[in-house]
């Protein structure tokens, strides 16, 4: 036997429908729309007036008053919430810390490399300025042009005191050209190619420079000392010559007929470190501290004769 079904007729709002007008539901919906529309229009009016009026206008003033009333509550709320906010911030920071850390590490690496580059550029700049001042200054030897260049290499051998520079014949550099820095004499060009040259330093065992003591005029030869690689001695200075510690030793720059020294006169070499003599010796024993730091040479100037 088929189950008896209950037929329910949808009579929604049947009891509320009025034949002569709108049902309460429709009326309520219309009222809601009307109110919403009114409020939207009020909002638009507020926005318009707020934008058009000056900062001293009515709405701005009202807003400021409202804010001053609300501010104590906001402050209180902020104080109450501070511990929770801090806790939230701590958790959020923890979550973001790993990513932040990675990002910061990368930034740090970039900044380090930039700092190194900038430091190098600054150092180069200072060095070049000094070179420029020296080349344009009164201490620069007469009759020479300066070819500023960089030290690009050092031979790995500990036996030869030499450096490679980035200027060669194309820049006018020739063999036996003296090499200086603003501090003093460096050495001599001993090999040259089109775009590079080898400079034998003053501290090499093969180097020797005729020199004089500026203060007394005592003459001698500066050459490699026996104690360590950077030590120099002023040899061939007679016992009767007057030399004191601290005296400045410069190149002698002699000239005899057509022969002349490879080094122009007046280039500083070093200062007298100690003076000694023994009865059995023919000459004084004078140790000289070079003015140039041969261990940290980076920029040098090759003196190229103008008369060449």
Partner 1 sequence: MTADVLKAGALLLVAALVQVSIASTIEVAEGHPDVVLVLVIAIALLRGPLFGAVAGFWAGLVLDVSSLETLGLTSLLLTLAGYFAGRFGDVTTKSSAHPSLVAVGLGTIGFGIGSALVHFMLGSTLSPTEFFVGVLLPSLALNLLIAYPLYGGCRRLFQPEPRERREVSPVV
Distance, in Å, from the CA atom of 41 to the CA atom of 56, rounded to the nearest integer, reads 23
70 vs 121, beta carbon nearer partner 1 = 70
Using CB under 8 A, count the residues that bind partner 1.
Answer: 45
22 vs 62, beta carbon nearer partner 1 = 62
Among 27, 61, 74, 126, binds partner 1 (CB under 8 A): 74
Distance, in Å, from the CA atom of 28 to the CA atom of 38, rounded to the nearest integer, reads 15
HSE value, Cβ hemisphere, 13 Å, CA-based, for 206 = 11
Interstrand relation of 178-180 and 259-260 (parallel, antiparallel or unpaired):
unpaired
Distance, in Å, from the CA atom of 149 to the CA atom of 304, rounded to the nearest integer, reads 13
59 vs 231, beta carbon nearer partner 1 = 59
18 vs 258, beta carbon nearer partner 1 = 18
Q: Does residue 22 interact with partner 1 by CB under 8 A?
A: no
Among 22, 26, 27, 35, binds partner 1 (CB under 8 A): 35
33 vs 239, beta carbon nearer partner 1 = 33
Q: Which two tokens stand for residue 239?
A: 């016992």
Q: Is 171 in contact with 308 (CB distance < 8 Å)?
A: no
92 vs 121, beta carbon nearer partner 1 = 92
The packing angle between helices 58-136 and 24-52, to 10°, is 40
Distance, in Å, from the CA atom of 193 to the CA atom of 154, rounded to the nearest integer, reads 16
Helix, strand, or coil (residue 83)? helix
**Element counts in the chain: helices (H) and strands (E):** 2, 14
Among 59, 151, 221, 262, binds partner 1 (CB under 8 A): 59
Which residues make beta-bridge pairs with 256? Answer: 259
Q: How far is the CB of 1 from partner 1 (least distance, A)?
A: 16
Q: Does residue 84 interact with partner 1 by CB under 8 A?
A: yes
Q: How far is the CB of 108 from partner 1 (least distance, A)?
A: 25
Binding site for partner 1 (CB under 8 A): 5-9, 11-12, 14-16, 28-29, 31-33, 35-36, 39-40, 42-48, 50-51, 59, 62-63, 66-67, 70, 73-75, 77-78, 81, 84-85, 88-89, 92
């Amino acid at each position: 036997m088929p189950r008896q079904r209950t037929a329910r007729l949808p009579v929604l709002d049947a009891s509320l429908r009025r034949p002569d007008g709108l049902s309460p539901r429709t009326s309520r919906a219309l009222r809601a729309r009307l109110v919403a529309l009114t409020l939207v229009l009020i909002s638009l009016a507020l926005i318009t007036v707020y934008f058009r009026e000056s900062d001293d206008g009515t709405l701005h003033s009202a807003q400021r008053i409202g804010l001053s009333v609300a501010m104590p509550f906001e402050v209180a709320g902020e104080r109450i919430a501070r511990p929770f906010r801090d806790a939230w911030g701590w958790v959020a920071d923890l979550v973001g810390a790993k990513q932040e850390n990675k990002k910061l590490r990368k930034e740090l690496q970039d900044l380090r490399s930039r700092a190194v580059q900038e430091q190098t550029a600054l150092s180069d700049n200072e060095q070049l300025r000094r070179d420029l001042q020296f080349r344009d200054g009164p201490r620069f030897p007469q009759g020479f042009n300066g070819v500023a260049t960089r030290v690009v290499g050092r031979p790995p051998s500990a036996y030869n005191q030499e450096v490679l520079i980035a200027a060669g014949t194309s820049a006018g550099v020739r063999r036996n050209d003296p090499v200086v820095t603003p501090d003093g004499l460096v050495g001599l060009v001993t090999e040259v190619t089109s775009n590079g040259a080898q400079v034998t330093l003053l501290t090499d065992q093969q180097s020797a420079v005729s020199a004089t003591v500026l203060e007394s005029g005592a003459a001698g030869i500066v050459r490699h000392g026996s104690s360590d690689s950077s030590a120099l001695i002023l040899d061939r200075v007679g016992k009767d010559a007057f030399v004191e510690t601290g005296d400045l030793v410069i190149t002698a720059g002699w000239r005899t007929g057509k022969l002349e020294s490879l080094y122009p006169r007046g280039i500083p070499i070093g200062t007298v470190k100690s003076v000694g003599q023994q009865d059995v010796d023919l000459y004084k024993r004078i140790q000289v501290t070079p003015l140039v730091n041969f261990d940290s040479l980076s920029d040098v100037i090759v003196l190229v004769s103008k008369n060449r």
